[in-house]
Chain A
Amino acid sequence: MISQVFLLSAKGDHLIYKDFRGEAGRDVINVFYEKVNALPGDQPPVVMHHEGLHFVHVRQGGLYCVATTRSNPSPFTLTEFLNRLAALIRDYCGSLSEQSVSLNSALIYELLDEMLDFGYPQTSSTEILKNFIQTEAVTPKPFSLLDLRNVGLFGADTQHSKVAPSAAASRPVLSTRGEPGGKNEIFVDVIERLTVVIGSNGTLLKADIQGEIRLKCFLPSCSEMRIGLNEEFSIGKTQLRGYGAAVRVDECSFHEAVKLDEFENQRVLRVTPSQGEHTVMQYQLSDELPSPPPFRLFHSLEREPSGRLLVYLKLRCDLPPKNAALNVVVNLPVPKGSVSLSQELSSPDQSAELQPISRAVRWEIPRFPGGAQLSALFKLEGSGLSAASLLEVGPVSLSFELPKLTCTGLQIRFLRLSPPLPALPQRWVRYVTHSDSYTIRM
């Protein structure tokens, strides 16, 4: 059972505080914040304790969502609950940030009041909660028209050739209540996170894909939806379907509301979407990627007699030519003594700088088309750069975003509503692959 729930900003401002059981005073907020800040490193452990009180926290959107308890509950349930709270705040307020939370504190207090009673979770479904939530969400005014977080977020869909505006899905689920005839939209996102380790000789040491199909529905009520996946979709190692290139995953789990009776034969998921965001399906694939990893790196290291280190990198993007990687950031750890950097990059829109704190060169490439090859020459100068310092260069890590692409090849064939609604809602399908961790050893 949960004793208190509170939300803190990164600076320690109290944004939300609700006590459910009167077991501890509100001064524990400060105790928590001191503990968080006293520890070295980037983030303290998830669970901490103070005089018999346990703090469990998750960090989302730069905020600390904290629950305290005096009993010994399941840590899985507790963290999942806090994550769910964060997701609900996102559903109702459009986004989770210091600004949106403080603008909507009344709404969040309402949410907490309905979600927890005496510290016990009562309900957490957006669908049920919306009957009880009376406050209207206040959306923060966009800070800038070019909100960089959303630039380049995916965009094709099945029937329309239009591209969904990138910020379309980050708005409150319930904001349409006041304006009847507002946008009727359903977003189906296929999101994959890619973890890759490539050895110094170019072999693929580890590859891992965590994927999910996420449904975000803005309709107040919706009839049953049929989501058709690739017919060649197979689960596990033994099964192979069809003759074409199979789309294979190792393991797959579904939301409990998904009906799977047509899945076995036709690869169709049947689900009645309720308002809000849901993860319909999660899947994993390890080791065997259906296509080559998106980036390959060729490098050479050299030490000039003057003590200068030359690092020559050639990065190749092995995506199909019609795709492109966005916001590619290459992170190259460099020896400790490096002080200055001079660079030669192949085009002016790229940039590179030496970051002394993380001891790394950060090379940014805003857009990297498939099949292209980019090169960079970095010259590092500094005291104490010896031959052994070459060992300290690397491994290179990359972060990027691949819109309109899934690495497993999972596609959504169709989205059908049955029976069809009178006013046909807009349906959007978006694909994106994020790099969770992409490491190339040198």
Chain B
Amino acid sequence: MPYLGSEETVKELKRALSNPNVQSDRLRYRNVILRVIRFMTQGLDMAPLFMEMVKASATVDIVQKKLVYLFMCSYATLKPDLALLAINTLLKDCADPNPMVRGLALRNMCNLRMPGISEYIQQPILSGLRDKASYVRRAAVLGCAKMQNLQPNAEIDGAVVNELYGLLRDQDPVVMVNCLRALEEILKKEGGVVINKPIAHHLLNRMKDLDVWGQSEVLTFLLRYRPRCHSELFDILNLLDSFLGSSHSGVVAATTRLFLSLGSALPAVQSGALERARGPLLAACNAQSRELRFVALCHVQQVLRSLPGHFGAHYKKFFCSYSEPNYIKFRKMEILVELVNDENVGTVLEELRGYCTDVSPELAQAAIFAIGRVGQTYSEKCLSILTGLLELKQEQITSAVVQTFRDLVWLCPQCSESVCASIAGCEEHIQDSEGKQALVWLLGVHGEQIPGSPYVLEEFIDALKTEQSPAVKLELLTATVRLFLSRPAETQDMLGRLLTFCIEEECDMSVRDRALFCYRLLQCGVEEARRVLGGPKSDPSLGVIAGRPEEPINSWAGDFNTLAPVYSREDWAALTATTGGSPSLIPLVTGGAAQADLGSAEEAEAAGSAAAAAAPAAPSPPGPSEELCLVSGPPLSPELFERRWLALEPSRRVSLDWPGGDCLPETLQAALQLVNIQALALSRPHARPWKAYLYAHSLGTVVLAELLRDTDAGGLQVTLKQDPEREEALSSFLTVLKTVMQTLGNSSASLSSHD
């Protein structure tokens, strides 16, 4: 359409609109207006027609009225003076005997976003609130919110607020929900609408009359209400129980969220609610609408963070359909990996194997990585599948398989033999730099087990001039030096050539530096080089981190049914960081407050008391570091933790007393969390050696800690690492940790003596 000739179009439309012949013919007039709206939608500037359109609003034709109002609301901000001309017509319509006309005029008058409008709309809104037609009352109630929105700094009119609270008892359910919405916006600065006991009970009783949108919204408002006693709580739960089985997924999700919040101190209620919501959630995962499927899958992932077995029996529901878009397939694969257990591992792997040859290279690669993750527990089965994939001799597949091999070998040393046997010949099919890096690393670290390793590396060295990626060169330098240490005779010559090239001809600074470093290291002698580069070849203990502990439900319950689960965790953290705190309407109810109300679970009490004792004790001990305390900083992902842990040297090793008896990991974790120490991973209670990985932020540094308990009798070995170094932070961390351990010891001792 004519983006270029818009001036001509405007002129022509202007002529048509002011043509009396057109004006007298209702259909023709409406058609011209429709054309104006169409151009407006396409993005053409129709503001010059404002005057003519205002004239067109004085009509009995409701369709035409609606179109003109739409036009005026879009351009009122640009032409406030002309828009005032329309006010008279609108005011007249507000007194029309037809409620539809009244409502329409009132709604659109409030939609005119321009300065000075509020003095005109105040009176119509107030009379609209008392109108006998619910259609007008709906518009008037939201009109109050719009008025407040126009003058954000104006004082809140107490009379209006009272009137709105009164209208919560209105006959019409939509008026009631609109009142909640309006009050929420008007009282935004004071923390939103207050849900006290009578209001909460009134809302609960009206739930049945609402439509699904109203139900979801009222359920969200009810999150704010805390029942006084157990019996009231269970009454509410009983009343809302049927909504967990609603056929509308929005209502199910909102009810689930409310149950999780109400039951924040009652694990049985939470798991019961999730149990009841499982069916509807699974149905949404297979809904016809793909978008709904995606949203449901994201929420399933969230539930799995706390209850890994929750969907175990239904793993087949997460098999991909071939017609699904990739973003759904990715989610399903992530879920499938989580659901693997002894019984279904064969079927799941067979399914994942099918995705490895997908047309989309990203999907194929993700499927291979997924098999690798399953392989951390079921290494044998996965290795045979991965080795089979190598026979396809395809670039992306081979590259992904080799990368998976590298990670597997590092985590599961028992795999290294079969991996080394199968990677011969891979070098011909790897083109991308990630794959090359992985292969070179494997050749360097496990070179003595791979017969042809020096010759493969030699090929890489010969092709060095054409190699683009500095990362591959860096990896190649380290690997060749490592291989030289294990197979000197075959490697010496090529190492010399590699070092010469990298030092004399390489332009990339980091590669040249690494080459010089290797060169000087070798000058120090072979033993020294072995000591530096030898290192461990695997670290199975990191498997603890890979198999994350179950997070408490309360850590995500507040985010359920919001946009947070739909974004990836990193994206969401970045988003909330820029907007300054979670934009969620409802503040997450912290465990402590809820437990004070309805403390029932014994562990929770123990944790609470431990924290209460630890918190004041923490800052007190050493004089000068009085104000030092741990703060809750940005969360650390397991991957990042792993990387930092490996990179850092231990700053301090200490031995602490074990708090005694059977201190449960959840208790420990809860207690630590209250003093701002985050537990990333904990072993099961009776595992030996028992390990825990913790971290905390303090004074601009991050303290990483490993707790290790080898035998039942021994104490607790604590290894601390820090980035960057800061002695005070380290001591304050230790003090806090000691206090927590002591308090836990005391409380568990007192508990057992009570028994």
Contact = CB atoms under 8 A, between A and B. Distances in A.
Interface of A: 1, 13-19, 21-22, 26, 40-47, 49, 52, 54, 56-59, 70-77, 79-83, 102, 105-106, 109-110, 113, 117-118, 120-125, 131-132, 134-135, 193, 195, 197, 199, 205-206, 208, 210, 251, 253-256, 279, 282, 284, 286-287, 331, 333, 336, 358-360, 386, 388-389, 391-392, 395, 397, 399, 436-437, 439, 441
A397 B100 CA distance: 54
Contacts of B563: 47, 54, 72-73, 75
18 contacts: A22-B113, A43-B290, A46-B566, A49-B567, A76-B561, A79-B292, A80-B212, A80-B292, A83-B289, A110-B63, A120-B142, A122-B174, A195-B321, A208-B286, A255-B247, A284-B286, A391-B392, A437-B324
B211 A123 contact: yes
A388 B249 contact: no
A54 B576 CA distance: 12
B178 A120 contact: yes
A282 to B, nearest CB: 6
Contact of B286 (A49, A57, A132, A210): A210
B240 interface: no
A73, A80, A134, A395: residue with the most chain B Cβ atoms closer than 10 Å? A80
Nearest to B61: A134
Given A14-B42, A205-B347, A208-B316, A284 B283 contact: yes
B213 A121 contact: yes
A84 B644 CA distance: 49
Contacts of B100: 131-132
Interface residues of B, number: 98
B359 A359 contact: yes
A17 B41 CA distance: 6
A285 to B, nearest CB: 11
Interface stretch (B14-22, B66-74, B414-422, B675-683): B66-74
B171 interface: no
A432 B394 CA distance: 42
B291 A251 contact: no
Interface string B681-709: 00000000000000000000000000000
A206 B362 contact: no
B301 to A, nearest CB: 13
A117 B316 CA distance: 42
Given A76-B284, A120-B217, A251-B283, 11 more contacts: A43-B290, A52-B578, A72-B583, A73-B563, A75-B298, A75-B561, A106-B37, A123-B174, A123-B211, A208-B286, A282-B247
Contacts of B38: 102, 105
B561 A206 contact: no
Nearest to A336: B394
Interface string B579-604: 10011110000000000000000000
B253 A256 contact: no
Contacts of B351: 197, 205
B357 A392 contact: yes
The main secondary structure of chain B at its interface with chain A is helix
A102 B178 CA distance: 31
Nearest to B298: A75
A131 B98 CA distance: 13
A15 B295 CA distance: 26
B138 interface: yes
Contacts of A16: 41
B178 A106 contact: no
B178 A360 contact: no
Contact of A391 (B77, B138, B322, B388): B388
Contacts of B253: 74, 76-77
B562 A52 contact: no
Contacts of A59: 290-291
Contacts of B323: 397, 399, 436-437
Contacts of B290: 43, 58-59
Given A79-B295, A199-B350, A43 B37 contact: no
B292 A76 contact: yes
Contacts of B291: 46, 56-59, 79, 82-83
Nearest to A57: B291
Interface of B: 34, 37-38, 41-43, 62-63, 66-67, 70, 73-74, 77, 100, 107, 113, 138-139, 142, 145-146, 149, 174, 177-178, 181, 211-213, 216-217, 220, 245-250, 252-254, 279-280, 282-284, 286-292, 294-296, 298, 314, 316-317, 319-327, 347, 350-351, 354, 357, 359-360, 362, 388, 391-394, 561-567, 571, 575, 578-579, 582-585
A286 B43 contact: no
A40 B245 CA distance: 38
B390 to A, nearest CB: 9
Nearest to A125: B211
A388 B393 contact: yes
A74 B216 contact: yes
B294 A45 contact: yes
B357 A74 contact: no
Given A47-B567, A391-B391, A437 B321 contact: yes
Given A76-B295, A109-B67, A124-B213, A43 B391 contact: no
A253 B561 contact: no
Contacts of B359: 333, 358-360
Contacts of A122: 138, 174, 178
A46 B294 contact: yes
Contacts of A123: 174, 211
Contact of B362 (A22, A40, A120, A286): A40
A106 B63 contact: yes
A56 to B, nearest CB: 8
Contacts of A199: 350
A362 B485 CA distance: 55
A45 B327 contact: yes
B45 to A, nearest CB: 11
**Pairs of residues from A and B, 3 with the lowest C-beta to C-beta distance, nearest first:** A437-B321, A77-B250, A121-B213
Contacts of A22: 77, 113
A52 B561 contact: no
Nearest to A29: B43
Contact of A77 (B254, B283, B294): B254
A103 to B, nearest CB: 10
Given A208-B316, A399-B323, A13 B211 contact: no
